[in-house]
Amino acid sequence: MLYTRKGDNGTTADFNSKSGDRKSKSSCQTESLGALDELNSFLGLVKVKSATISWKLPVRFDDVGSNLSEVIGAVQNNLFSVQAEIAGADKRVSQSRTSEMEDLIDAIEKELPPIKTFFVSGGTELAAMLDVSRTLARKAERRVVAGMEQKEFMIEPATLSFLNRLSSLLYALARLTNHKSGINESAPTYN
């Protein structure tokens, strides 16, 4: 069944909830899970859009290879582990995932012109979608940090590192997408 009616009063439960133990849907934990779900859902759109590109990433990621759509799919699966950890399940993202992201970011940066300014989002549709994903990743990270500060939940340092590095990866992928398409990045004019 797609509905239970249990949340009709504005409450929800997590993995650690005992029978009848529910919390507000506006809690930091629920906001964190919702922000991560929003990011993961949008990454699904990015994955579909990126399935048609022919170029490969400069290094492999998460044992899936160097195909952008497969890398995005691996990130989505990692985000499910983050959500499970926040919800109280015994799931974790390993530090090796962050290290793999750093390796990929470093390899991408070697292919790109150096950053000298902020860039206006856009270029290709895929690059713009990766930029939206980057902002959603930052929002999710802020929600998670707020939940930890409020002591509603705790996550492993490796998980927080993963969330922090994810937005950098998405930014690098947006820049690479435009670069591979021959589109020059444009700096803001600050009118």
Closest CA to 162 of 114, 112, 96, 80: 96
CB neighbourhood size of 54 (10 A): 6
- 3-class DSSP state for residue 27? coil
Q: What residue spans of 17-156 are helical by DSSP H?
A: 28-50, 68-86, 95-111, 125-149
CB contact at 8 A, 38 and 136: yes
**Interatomic CA distance for residues 43 and 122, integer angstroms:** 17
CATH code: domain 26-109+118-180 is 1.20.1200.10
Return the SS3 of 182: coil
**Which structure tokens are listed for 80?**
């499910």
32-83 residue pLDDT tens: 999 999 999 999 999 999 999 999 999 988 788 889 999 999 999 999 999 9
Q: Specify the pTM.
A: 0.89
Q: How far apart are the first and last CA of the chain?
A: 54
More confident residue, 115 or 91: 91
Domain boundaries, the chain: 26-109+118-180
Identify the pLDDT of residue 189: 83
- The letter for the amino acid at 129 is M
* 97, two tokens: 């995932």
